[in-house]
Structure 1
Amino acid sequence: MAGSHDKRLGEIESRLHREDPRFARALGAGRPCRPREYRHTRAWLLLAVALAVLGTGIALANGLLIAAGLVLAGMAGELFDPQREARRHRNPPPRS
């Protein structure tokens, strides 16, 4: 019985190390960091750029800048989704 628990824990550990090695190393060192799903630095930077482009487009009354700002804001919103990796690999497109 104890062997099966050790085996399952070993499988969980190896999967965690494969999915997020930075988190696994920090957890092993006793100083855990946020898992990959909750690190949003790039998303915040992209959102700030999107808002700057959108604001500039509104101030200059330039439709192309407004559209670009909205597209960038949508891309930033997609980066905030913690389940985007799982959803991306769930249903691959059909082969022609």
Structure 2
Amino acid sequence: MISSNEPGFYKEGAYGIRHENLILCKEAETSQYGEFLDFETITLCHFETKGLQMELLTPVEKKWLNNYHQLVFDTLSPDLDDDHKTWLKEKTKAI
């Protein structure tokens, strides 16, 4: 099943800002406790960090974003020319 993961900020009566990714729910593992599922991100586009307040992110959230941005760069950059690769590298740099 494909779902949407949409963290965001909404100001009542004014506007909303949302980052959105599609995620695939898939079988992960089976253990003595049962069958478990996992999510795989299938939409690969950088998150615009200019809209983030870094001081509000937890270390776990920062690590997730850095790992996600590394995945975006590693997956997409081989198909880009040098100019676009440089642009993507800047957009996906670690925070």
State the TM-score, normalized to the length of structure 2.
0.29
The structure with more radius of gyration: 1
Whichever structure has more strand as a proportion of its residues is: 2
Whichever structure has more helix as a proportion of its residues is: 1
State the TM-score, normalized to the length of structure 1.
0.29
